Structure 1
Amino acid sequence: MVQIGYTMMTEQAGPRELVGHVVRAEEVGYDFSVTSDHYSPWLRSQGHSPYAWSVLGAAAQATSRIPLMTYVTCPSFRYHPAVVAQKAATMQLLSEGRFRLGLGSGENLNEHVVGGGWPAVDVRHERLEEAVEIIRALFDGGLVTYHGTHFDVESARLWDLPDQPPPLGVAVSGERSCTLAGHLADLVIATEPEAGLLDAFDRHGGQGKPRVGQLPVCYDADRDAAVTRAHAQFRWFGGGWNVNAELPGPHSFASATQYVTPDDVAASIPCGDDPAAFVEAVRPYADAGFTEVALVQIGGDQQDAFLNWSAKTLLPALRDAFG
């Protein structure tokens, strides 16, 4: 069985709209939701980037059933890990146990804004590992003092701590991050249906833990309109995370994708209103061993139509195939 989730894509809608979208996603029956945590959109055509944690707090109050999750927060540049732990504990209380904390090593796009530069990937993984250790220690309760290579914590305590801390997920893209996730995370996060990543996660202690993927889709009754919109807003997606983590701003992503064609995008993102195409796009995740897949409907002003179609057509088709 594969659970099907809904993505609150903060890069393509404003905060009030995002909350309304996840309320509707709960109503139509999505199994869970995830939220991106960005300072900037990937491309100017997306046009938004509100503060994800305010959106999550509002969503926790506006919904009652659907699980919430960051996909993903970088706890090691814009945010200090002690502050991330406080945010996550508060979200777990507000949502009454429905929150999961997804973490990753970050992208230059979002993290360069605090002026700390953008180090090599091995340093980013070191910082992420220390951040996870700090967050875990604070979730355990009591007074925490920590002196690492990258972070210091002095006499910190979470004063509002849920009985059960939020499960902690780590995004992976290679062996090093899979090792970290297997040892320290409760679940693994990936954006590509690569069975090798899950195998590496399992080798390092991840057996039996949830594995969450994400898939962009573009519903529209007019397939040509869907392809045009997907190309305008999501052509960056095909660059892969080894590239996407390095570029510093929307102008860089526009330059890097200037030769990507609409046909290129349509070959990797299901577009239109044929549910079979969406089912086949999810299938590689199911075959690789993912237990959850969060869909990203491209286009901030297209969510209502997509969610209505989900209720009537898409979710029944996906549950027939993977339920």
Structure 2
Amino acid sequence: MTIPFRFGYKASAEQFGPAELLEYGVLAEQAGFDSIFVSDHFQPWNHEGGHAPAAMPWLGALGARTEKIIMGTSVLTPSFRYHPGVVAQAFGTLGALFPGRVILGVGSGEALNEVVLGLPWPEMKERFARLKEAITIIETLWTEDRVTYEGQFFRTQDATIYDKPTTPVPIYIGASGPAATRLAGRMADGFITTSGKKRELYTDTLLPALAEGIEKGGRTADDVDTLMEMKVSFDHDRERALQDTRYWAPLALTPEEKMGVEDPIEMQRLADALPIERAASRWIVSTDPDEHVARINEYIDLGFKHLVFHGPGADQRRFIELYGAEVLPRLRAQHGG
């Protein structure tokens, strides 16, 4: 089956409290967005003015307040703060409450969210192995009863999820490197990554790794949704669109600059030192909706079909209404969905 184009809204849990964020989610459905994705962080990027609501209860509230929008995590780490069995139970409940509307997006995690609880932060090889094991446990608990699992990192003993999803909950894997991307191609329902990086990362590394994983899994490209979290700053006032990116300056830090940073106070200090031009470097900043569409089409041309738009500004109502009125109709006119 051909995967349709979808255009979603990124709910910025690191920037807004849970009640305010919920209202933005309801508004996004009304404005015509197809999906809503939220990150599950224990700590935000910024200590001052930051937020970090738990994604799982928030998704339950969102489902109750909306009618049809698809909702999920981008991403949640099922291998440190949570035992994967707890994730299976929580998303089993969400899937039972809102059949066909829930996606579980998972990743290998970040030190910022795990070390604060006294958890170990191993090398990438172990984090990747934990993720694979966690996915196996979650999927097994959703399909079998009395699951006893003896893994390298996790164990279950006669475990049963009594309230399973009434329709399958797709699992998407978020990745910025080739190993996790291959895993997504081999066994996941979707692949999640983010925009604004060098084009060669997508063309030479990630997309070939995804294709390799799909081939190894004996699957086709239509078996795997391709989700790009698009960083877009759109306003009729260009200076406002530029300054709106300031809050998200941590995203412009290089992996080397933020490697192992465990404290949001330190993360904020590093980000505040960046000039606004660098803070905005990962964003499409423009007052022209046609320019936004042209820049978004660059990612669609690469093969991404599920575009989730992250607006950086404090006035999310303004962003949702402007993007819903001026950009989404142009995209739908070209691509359907």
Aligned to 1:225: 240
Cα offset for 1:97? 2.0
Cα offset for 1:281? 3.3
SS in 1 for 2:152: coil
Q: 2:301 aligned with 1:292, yes or no?
A: no
SS in 1 for 2:315: helix
CA RMSD, aligned part only?
2.0
From 60, 70, 73, the counterpart of 1:70? 73
The 8 Å contact of residues 85 and 135 in structure 1, kept in 2 or not, is answered as: yes
The 8 Å contact of residues 39 and 75 in structure 2, kept in 1 or not, is answered as: yes
Aligned to 1:216: 231
The 8 Å contact of residues 185 and 210 in structure 2, kept in 1 or not, is answered as: yes
Specify the code of the residue in structure 1 equivalent to 2:237: D
SS in 2 for 1:190: strand
Deviates more, 1:255-264 or 1:200-209: 255-264
The 8 Å contact of residues 112 and 118 in structure 1, kept in 2 or not, is answered as: yes
Cα offset for 1:280? 3.3
CA 280–238 in structure 1, closer or farther in 2 if over 3 Å, else same: farther
From 186, 198, 201, the counterpart of 2:207? 198
The 8 Å contact of residues 39 and 51 in structure 1, kept in 2 or not, is answered as: yes
CA 318–79 in structure 1, closer or farther in 2 if over 3 Å, else same: same
The 8 Å contact of residues 235 and 322 in structure 2, kept in 1 or not, is answered as: no
Deviates more, 1:191-200 or 1:11-20: 191-200
CA distance in 2, matches of 1:226, 1:202: 36
- For residues 222-261 of structure 1, the C-alpha deviation after alignment (integer angstroms, 9 at most, x for no partner) is 3212222212x11111235676563212223234334421
From 105, 108, 114, the counterpart of 1:105? 108
Q: 2:292 aligned with 1:274, yes or no?
A: no
CA 235–55 in structure 1, closer or farther in 2 if over 3 Å, else same: same
Aligned to 1:155: 158
Structure 1 consecutive aligned stretches of length 4 or more whose deviation exceeds 6 Å: none
- For residues 39-71 of structure 1, the C-alpha deviation after alignment (integer angstroms, 9 at most, x for no partner) is 111123552111111110000110011100110
SS in 1 for 2:149: strand
The 8 Å contact of residues 145 and 156 in structure 1, kept in 2 or not, is answered as: yes
Aligned to 2:178: 175
The 8 Å contact of residues 217 and 296 in structure 1, kept in 2 or not, is answered as: yes
Give the gaps of 5 or more residues in structure 2. none
Deviates more, 1:54-63 or 1:281-290: 281-290
Aligned to 2:263: 249
Written as runs of structure 1 = structure 2, the 5 A alignment for 1:32-181 is 32-181=35-184
> Percentage identity across aligned positions?
34
Deviates more, 1:150-159 or 1:66-75: 150-159
From 320, 324, 327, the counterpart of 1:307? 320
Deviates more, 1:274-283 or 1:96-105: 274-283
The 8 Å contact of residues 234 and 323 in structure 2, kept in 1 or not, is answered as: no
Aligned to 2:28: 25
Q: Give the structure-1-normalised TM-score.
A: 0.92
How many residues align structurally?
321
The 8 Å contact of residues 147 and 160 in structure 2, kept in 1 or not, is answered as: yes
CA distance in 1, matches of 2:61, 2:239: 35
Specify the code of the residue in structure 1 equivalent to 2:297: R
SS in 1 for 2:194: coil
CA distance in 1, matches of 2:58, 2:256: 28
CA distance in 2, matches of 1:227, 1:130: 42
CA distance in 2, matches of 1:45, 1:295: 24
CA distance in 2, matches of 1:243, 1:211: 28
From 5, 8, 13, the counterpart of 1:10? 13
Q: Give the structure-2-normalised TM-score.
A: 0.89
Give the gaps of 5 or more residues in structure 1. none
Deviates more, 1:112-121 or 1:213-222: 213-222
